[in-house]
Amino acid sequence: MAEALARKGLDLKHQPGFHAIAVICLLLLYAPILVLAVLSFNSGDDLVHFSGLSTQWYGKALANEGFHAAATNTLIISVTSMILSTAVATAAALGTTRTRAWRGQGAAFMVINLPLMVPEIITAVATLSFFSLLASLANINFGIGNLILAHTVFCIPFAYMPIRARLEDMDVTLENAAADLYATPWRAFRRVTLPLLMPGITAGAALAFIVSFDDFTITQLVAGPGQTTLPLFIWSQIRRPITPELNAMCSILLGISILFVLASYLIARKRA
């Protein structure tokens, strides 16, 4: 008994069964998307039996007019929301972190994080009501701008978090050193703070993009005609008989999300 323990070492951290559960969990998390992805390469049009490898469905998906239109819309909305929310979040992070405390700072922090607290469906109907009221009362309709504004709102906290985290990790004496070396506050910001903040801003922007890109609930309720985004388009395709073309489209979207996550992760790793 003692020899066995000596050989293996008493692993204090080991809890029986946890390893198995963890692996099962991860398998379960990935299985459905892997199945989805694999079937998108099916050369037959059956979604159960795999006949062979083919990229025909990707060709069909990429040629799909509706897919194109949706992709264009999504790009416009998500890129704009990403830019707006990241800019606003950067300013907010600079104003609420590492600075002399001001009255109302706590409340400001709560407001910035508000979109994370409210269930999406509530935000969706609230936004819908807001814009319809705006249209009926003052005849104001920003068109696709409505969606952009709605997306920007919930993207802000996602961009804010990594920027704030990065700012808190930064050494305060660096800005002192810059001032000591004749840099005015603006120049110190541009030459020292901003370059060092960039990884955080990039990570925040990536998150903001993904969150806007993937949104379904809010977009579905707020979007007007001609404002179909990729998730909405995919939703509309479910009514029809499902072919692997749908799988291909889904896989493309998944691929983009994963790409952004990996990029975000690698950027964070590079700075550590």
Partner 1 sequence: MPDALAAANVLDRQITRRSRLLTLPALLVIGVFGVLPLLIIVVYSFLAPAPYGGVEWHFSTEAYVSFLFQEDIFDGTLSFVPDFLLIYLRSLIYAVVTTIVCLFLGFPTAYFMATRPPRQRGFWVLLITIPFWSNLLIRTLAIMMIIRDQGILNGIMIDLGLIKQPVVMLYTDGAIVLGLLYSYLPFMVLPLYSSLEKLDFRLVEAGFDLYATRWQVLRRIIIPLAKPGIIAGSLLVFIPALGAYVAPLILGGGRHLMIGELIAQQFGTSRNWPLGAAQAIILMAGVMVALFFYVRNTGGKVQHG
Partner 2 sequence: MMDQPVAVQRAVRRARLRVPLPAEFDNLADPKPANALEIRNVEKIFGAGEHAFRALSGVSLQIRPNEFFTLLGPSGCGKTTLLRLIAGFEYPTAGQILLQGEDIAAQPPFRRPVNTVFQNYALFPHMTVAGNIAFGLEMLGKPKDEVAATVTAMLKLVRMEELKDRKTSQISGGQQQRVALARALAPHPKILLLDEPLSALDLKLRKDMQIELKRLQHETGITFIFVTHDQEEALTMSDRIAVMSRGQVLQVGGPQDIYDRPANRFVANFIGETNFLEGNLTQREGEQARIVLPSGASLIASIPAAFASSGKVSIVVRPEQARLVAGAEPGALAGTIENIVYFGTDTHVHLKLDDGPPFIVRQQNRREVGAVPSIGARAGVIVPDGLAQVLGD
Helix (H, G, I), strand (E, B) or coil at 55: coil
> Nearest distance from residue 219's CB to partner 1, in Å?
10
Judged by beta carbon distances under 5 to 8 A according to partner kind, the member of partner 2, partner 1, none in contact with residue 69 is none
Task: Provide the sign of the torsion angle of the four alpha carbons 64, 142, 156, 263, taken in this order.
Answer: positive
> Cα separation of 41 and 60, whole Å?
12
> Cα separation of 56 and 44, whole Å?
10
> Cα separation of 179 and 89, whole Å?
25
Task: Select the residue interacting with partner 1 from 136, 141, 176, 236 (CB under 8 A).
Answer: 136
Judged by beta carbon distances under 5 to 8 A according to partner kind, the member of partner 1, partner 2, none in contact with residue 111 is partner 1
Task: Select the residue interacting with partner 1 from 42, 74, 78, 96 (CB under 8 A).
Answer: 96
> Nearest distance from residue 147's CB to partner 1, in Å?
11
> Cα separation of 113 and 109, whole Å?
6
Judged by beta carbon distances under 5 to 8 A according to partner kind, the member of partner 1, partner 2, none in contact with residue 225 is none
Q: Rule CB under 8 A: is residue 99 a binding residue for partner 2?
A: no
φ, ψ for residue 46, nearest 5 deg = -90, 140
Judged by beta carbon distances under 5 to 8 A according to partner kind, the member of partner 1, partner 2, none in contact with residue 114 is partner 1
Residues 221-240 that bind partner 1 (CB under 8 A): 221, 231, 234-235, 238
3-state helix, strand, coil in the chain (%, to 5): 75, 0, 25
Within 10 Å of residue 185's Cβ, how many Cβ atoms? Answer: 11
Stretch that binds partner 2, among 177-185, 231-239, 240-248, 260-268 (CB under 8 A): 177-185
> Cα separation of 103 and 121, whole Å?
33
Judged by beta carbon distances under 5 to 8 A according to partner kind, the member of partner 2, partner 1, none in contact with residue 190 is none
Helix (H, G, I), strand (E, B) or coil at 225: coil
Q: Rule CB under 8 A: is residue 182 a binding residue for partner 2?
A: yes
Residues 15-34 that bind partner 1 (CB under 8 A): 15-19, 21-22, 25-26, 28-30, 32-33
Q: Which residue, 177 or 261, has its beta carbon nearer to partner 1?
A: 261
Q: Rule CB under 8 A: is residue 71 a binding residue for partner 1?
A: no
Q: Rule CB under 8 A: is residue 106 a binding residue for partner 2?
A: no
Residues 192-221: x where in contact with partner 2 by CB under 8 A, - otherwise, as a string:
x--xx-------------------------
Contact 66, 228 (CB under 8 A): yes
Joined tokens for residue 220: 């579905």
How crowded is the C-beta side of 1, counted as CA atoms within 13 Å? Answer: 0
Q: Which residue has the tokens 């969150």?
A: 211
Q: Which residue, 119 or 226, has its beta carbon nearer to partner 1?
A: 119
Chain residues binding partner 2 by CB under 8 A are 171, 173-174, 176-185, 187, 191-192, 195-196
